[in-house]
């Protein structure tokens, strides 16, 4: 089976940098993905890491360490619109993490 | 424009009724999925399909059933709705092979059974 654990809530200031962690236990590894979901909306795909290291996409970066079964999503230059829930996901039949609700404050 | 569509967006229905939630995608994706999500909670996989005439149950036990007669269409049916079925149902699709592009989700159906 698979399980992916995330902090339940994170609060950060507009303009700052925030890191959302994800630790996973999976039978087999199929990469680690990240999704953003605003309240009442559908999840949208942000990034995918198949190999160790950092992947950068604009203000968002995602990191993976397979030896530590750990990854994180890094959001830079935070904006109010970044307030949302963020999910890591992995698995052949993709399992989603417990989700982290990010609140960006002025 | 390639996309994935779910209807209805909202549904309030009485206990015991039969309902079908529609999901269609225009991207030609082989893989399609149904997830159930309660407000503020994680997504749970309830059904998936890797192609026409292929359907499997997910990790979360569900009383719903699905069919995949056409590549673009993946409807979910509840034969007898109950209040415990109240939730949001999200349909998604993905390309075969690499996960580099992730899943594309529909807007979801918010189901309330009274």
pLDDT digits (tens, 9 = 90+) for A60-105: 999 999 999 999 999 999 999 999 999 999 887 788 999 999 999 9
A2, pLDDT greater than 80: no
Interface test with A, best of B41, B103, B110 (most A CBs within 10 A): B103
B100, pLDDT greater than 70: no
Residues of A with CB under 8 A from a CB of B: 1, 30-31, 33, 35, 41-46, 48, 50, 85, 87, 93-99, 101
DSSP secondary structure code for residue A16 in this structure:
S
Interface test with B, best of A94, A95, A97 (most B CBs within 10 A): A94
What is the arithmetic mean of pLDDT over B75-104?
Answer: 88
Residue B49: Cβ-neighbour burial (10 angstroms; 0-12, 13-18, 19+): buried
Residue A40: Cβ-neighbour burial (10 angstroms; 0-12, 13-18, 19+): exposed
Q: Which of A42, A45, A94 sits opposite B107 (nearest CB)?
A: A42
pLDDT of res. A20: 98
- CB-based contact A72:A64 (threshold 8 Å): no
B47, pLDDT greater than 90: yes
CA distances from A85 to A8, A74, B51, B97, B105 (A): 9, 14, 30, 27, 15
pLDDT of res. A1: 67
pLDDT in tens, B3-37: 999 999 999 999 999 999 999 999 999 999 999 99
């Amino acid at each position: 089976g698979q399980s992916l654990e995330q902090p339940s809530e994170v609060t950060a200031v507009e303009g700052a940098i925030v890191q959302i962690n994800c630790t996973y236990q999976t039978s087999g590894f199929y990469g680690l993905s990240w999704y953003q979901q605003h309240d009442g909306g559908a999840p949208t795909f942000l990034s995918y890491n198949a190999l160790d290291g950092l992947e950068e996409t604009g203000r968002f970066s995602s990191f993976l360490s397979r030896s530590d079964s750990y990854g994180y999503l890094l959001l830079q230059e935070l904006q109010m619109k970044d307030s949302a829930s963020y999910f890591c996901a992995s698995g052949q039949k993709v399992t989603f993490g417990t989700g982290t609700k990010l609140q960006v404050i002025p | 424009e390639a996309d994935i569509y779910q209807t209805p967006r909202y549904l309030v229905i009485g206990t015991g009724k039969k309902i079908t939630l529609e999901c269609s995608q225009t991207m030609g994706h082989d893989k399609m999925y149904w997830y159930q999500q309660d407000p503020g909670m994680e997504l749970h996989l309830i059904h998936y399909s890797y192609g026409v005439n292929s359907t499997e149950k997910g990790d979360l036990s569900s009383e719903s059933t699905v069919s995949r007669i056409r590549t673009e269409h993946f409807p979910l049916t509840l034969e007898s709705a109950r209040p415990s079925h109240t939730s949001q149902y999200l349909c998604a699709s993905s390309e075969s092979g690499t996960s580099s592009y992730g899943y594309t989700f529909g807007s979801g159906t918010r189901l309330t059974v009274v």
